[in-house]
């Protein structure tokens, strides 16, 4: 190419006007560079900063406060805080007790273990958690996952002891996994569960939970253990005679002596503290918060007064009095069920952790404070490890209980301690009162709580904003509803990872044009008034260049060049001379990417075109220099900005007196210089 030997003096090498060339960053020692990269990957929040220039005793105190935040805020605790936390704790206890019993049944565990799981874990979280609003306890989705995954290996009815021990073991491994992620600063793994994935998965799981409760709501005796909608509907319609009889009943005995309470079920429909309702009318949040306990009381009284348990109504029965018995010796670490417990623990642990952290961050935003995701994972992990050794199954921070805690005006995690004390009193003295509680009430409590998790408004929002996110959401939802929870989760994560791979493997490349009367260059499809530079094609690469996308980018760049040459030929404009690659968004490049740039340069050289780079970042410049690409290309063809690169190309075009059919446009670009 004839103009390859010319040098644009004022822009390429720097001049008195202060225009600088693109520098290669100074070399860094390997270990220093490695230390920086590891720090940015695992310690973006720099948690060790608070320990700098501190005495050994102060470092010990700060370390203790890091792992046990209770030591940080207890010295500032006041009586006003205690009054607020006392009210909040009693309020969430009224919700936690019936929900704990209900969710234990959902997990195919004896109801008493729902109360055990609402006693020890909240105490652990109060000491180690960083959220002021999170109310810890059992959750429906994790309970259903436990029942589904363990139930596929061990029948809870035929072998209840082994099933219970596996539930403890799965909880132990969930805690180990959660705590390990927090200690190793690997919390970003949870980020692979996108918002769309969680919306679809939670909605599907809530639908499955509601379907499972048809057994109790409709009074069915023989019901499928499968969770998919087809199996559930088949189970319902094959027992239509029982369903018809159920709808005839109205709190009275029928032919076979069975009784049901429509009043209790109807009142239970208000038992879930709906999120939107709580936020719109926080003064009346206690109505929905107290509804589950009130339903239990009314249902128990009705059964007791009518002796309905003698006529076919299923009740909870005896609940053991006393606090949590130790269960550390019940953990199963031998084959053939060890892998089942590990798999169940990891999957339920990830879901519970993602839900708890998301809920904690949501309410922290309302009160303008931050929570540390890694500290939360350590807290969740430790409370599940301790819980597995004290007859508890998986716990996290459910949204419904946390919403009640937030609206009740909690100030600190002491509300969890108050709730745990209330559950302790229940375990010690009040468990006999639950003997007559009908199972239909528990089913209604679960179903009404789950309806709030079906966030159709979020799905509609996803459809409006991002169709691919909507596909991810619906993939998770339909997978859970029509297959099972594991398949639904796998589908959602697979689609999300596929999208991530598409972002990496198929980055966007756009043509840039000049905004009139400025030195700004933008996408010509976005800014319709942007003008392309005569003889120059400006392409923006919108992602790092790796082995996964280097071939695509090579083909896409050549295609852009072909299309631009065809356009110029058909319009009669001046021929293409320069191709500028705007690399502002290219944060990194690997050897495959460098080889791609080298190949593109050779292709352009054969076509008598010149490759120009604009604004490559330090990491890219460092690798291009080590690969000798800069030496091969020429330092004068690398510029700080697109404007500098265009000015240099225009200078070369006019210096070499290249013919330009469109004179006015050439003069316009000359003025930019």
Compute the mean pLDDT over every residue in the chain, rounded to the nearest whole number.
81
Residue 296 confidence (pLDDT): 81
Residue 256 confidence (pLDDT): 44
The domain segmentation of the chain, as residue ranges, is 79-271+295-303+335-498, 507-654
CA–centroid distance for 10 within its chain: 51
Average pLDDT over residues 179-205: 80
Residue 394 confidence (pLDDT): 95
pLDDT confidence band for 521 (50 / 70 / 90):
very high
Q: Does 278 or 363 have the greater pLDDT score? A: 363
- Reported as a single tens digit per residue, the pLDDT across 194-208 is 778 888 887 887 888
pLDDT tops 60 at residue 10: no
Q: Does 13 or 39 have the greater pLDDT score? A: 39
Contacts of 308 (CB under 8 A, 6+ apart): 259, 261, 302, 438
Domain 507-654 CATH superfamily = STAS domain (3.30.750.24)
> Would you call 672 exposed, middle or buried from its count of C-beta atoms within 10 A (0-12, 13-18, 19+)?
middle
Least confident of 32-41, 391-400, 637-646: 32-41
In angstroms, the CA 584 to CA 589 distance is: 12
CA angle 442, 446, 451 (to 5 degrees): 150
Q: Do 136 and 384 contact (CB within 8 A), yes or no?
A: no
- Reported as a single tens digit per residue, the pLDDT across 581-640 is 999 999 999 999 999 999 999 999 999 999 999 999 999 999 999 999 999 999 889 999
In angstroms, the CA 401 to CA 103 distance is: 13
Average pLDDT over residues 547-552: 92
pLDDT confidence band for 282 (50 / 70 / 90):
low
In angstroms, the CA 39 to CA 36 distance is: 5
H-type alpha helices, 513-549: none
pLDDT confidence band for 221 (50 / 70 / 90):
low
pTM: 0.74
- Reported as a single tens digit per residue, the pLDDT across 400-449 is 788 888 888 888 999 999 999 999 999 999 888 888 888 788 777 777 77
Neighbours of 29 (CB within 10 A): 8
H-type alpha helices, 130-227: 140-151, 160-183, 195-212, 214-217
- Reported as a single tens digit per residue, the pLDDT across 636-672 is 899 999 999 999 888 887 765 444 444 344 344 443 3
Residue 220 confidence (pLDDT): 67
Q: Do 387 and 173 contact (CB within 8 A), yes or no?
A: no
Q: Do 139 and 353 contact (CB within 8 A), yes or no?
A: no
Residue 196 confidence (pLDDT): 84
- Backbone phi, psi, residue 613, to 5°: -110, 140
pLDDT tops 70 at residue 29: yes
């Amino acid at each position: 190419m004839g103009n390859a030997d010319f040098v644009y003096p004022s822009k390429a090498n720097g001049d008195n006007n202060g225009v600088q060339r693109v520098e290669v960053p100074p070399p860094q020692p390997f270990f220093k560079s490695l230390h920086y990269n590891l720090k940015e990957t695992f310690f973006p929040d720099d948690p060790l900063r608070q320990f700098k220039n501190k005495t050994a005793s102060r470092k010990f105190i700060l370390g203790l406060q890091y792992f046990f935040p209770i030591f940080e805020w207890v010295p500032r605790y006041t009586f006003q805080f205690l009054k607020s936390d006392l009210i909040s704790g009693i309020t969430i206890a009224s919700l936690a007790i019936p929900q704990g019993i209900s969710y234990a049944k959902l997990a195919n565990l004896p109801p008493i273990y729902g109360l055990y799981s609402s006693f020890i874990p909240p105490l652990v979280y109060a000491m180690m958690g960083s959220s002021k609003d999170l109310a810890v306890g059992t959750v429906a989705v994790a309970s259903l996952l436990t029942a589904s995954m363990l139930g596929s290996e061990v029948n809870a009815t035929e072998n209840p002891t082994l099933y219970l021990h596996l539930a403890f073991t799965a909880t132990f491994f969930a805690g180990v996994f959660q705590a390990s992620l927090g200690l190793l600063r690997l919390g970003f793994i949870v980020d692979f569960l996108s918002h769309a994935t969680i919306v679809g998965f939670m909605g599907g799981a809530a639908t499955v939970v509601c379907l499972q409760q048809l057994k109790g709501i409709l009074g069915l005796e023989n019901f499928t253990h499968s969770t998919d909608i087809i199996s559930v509907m088949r189970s319902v319609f094959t027992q239509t005679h029982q369903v018809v009889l159920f709808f005839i009943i109205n709190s009275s005995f029928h032919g076979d002596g069975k009784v049901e309470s429509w009043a209790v079920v109807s009142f239970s429909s208000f038992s879930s503290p709906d999120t939107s309702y709580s936020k719109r009318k926080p003064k009346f949040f206690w109505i929905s918060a107290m509804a589950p306990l009130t339903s239990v009381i009314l249902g128990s009284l009705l059964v007791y007064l009518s002796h309905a348990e003698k006529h076919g109504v299923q009740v909870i029965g005896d609940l053991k009095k006393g606090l949590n018995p130790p269960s550390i010796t019940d953990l199963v670490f031998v084959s053939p069920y060890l892998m089942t417990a590990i798999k169940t623990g990891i999957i339920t642990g990830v879901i519970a952790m993602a839900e708890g952290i998301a809920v904690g961050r949501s309410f922290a935003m309302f009160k303008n404070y931050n929570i540390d995701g890694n500290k939360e994972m350590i807290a969740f992990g430790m409370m599940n490890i301790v819980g597995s050794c004290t007859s508890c199954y998986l716990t996290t921070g459910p949204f419904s209980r946390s919403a009640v805690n937030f609206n009740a005006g909690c100030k600190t995690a002491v509300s969890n301690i108050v709730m745990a004390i209330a559950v302790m009193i229940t375990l010690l003295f009040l468990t006999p009162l639950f003997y007559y509680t009908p199972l239909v009430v528990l089913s209604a409590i679960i179903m009404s709580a789950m309806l709030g998790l079906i966030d159709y408004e979020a799905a509609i929002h996803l459809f409006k904003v991002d169709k691919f996110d909507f596909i991810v959401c619906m993939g998770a939802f339909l997978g859970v509803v029509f297959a099972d929870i594991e398949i639904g989760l796998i589908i959602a994560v697979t689609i999300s990872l596929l999208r991530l791979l598409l972002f990496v493997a198929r980055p966007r490349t756009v043509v840039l044009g000049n905004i009139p009367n400025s030195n700004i260059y933008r996408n010509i499809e976005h800014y319709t008034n942007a003008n392309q530079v005569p003889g120059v094609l400006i392409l923006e690469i919108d992602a790092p260049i790796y082995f996964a996308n280097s071939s695509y980018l090579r083909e896409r760049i050549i295609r852009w060049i072909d299309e631009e040459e065809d356009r110029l030929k058909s319009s009669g404009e001046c021929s293409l001379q320069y191709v500028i690659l705007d690399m502002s968004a290219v944060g990194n490049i690997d050897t495959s990417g460098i080889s791609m740039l080298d190949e593109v340069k050779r292709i352009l050289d054969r076509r008598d075109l010149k490759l120009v780079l604009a604004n490559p970042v330090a990491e890219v410049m460092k690798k291009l220099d080590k690969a000798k690409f800069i030496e091969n290309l020429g330092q004068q063809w690398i510029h700080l900005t697109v404007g500098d690169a265009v000015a240099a190309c225009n200078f070369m075009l006019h210096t070499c007196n290249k013919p330009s059919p469109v004179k006015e446009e050439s003069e316009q670009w000359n003025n930019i210089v």
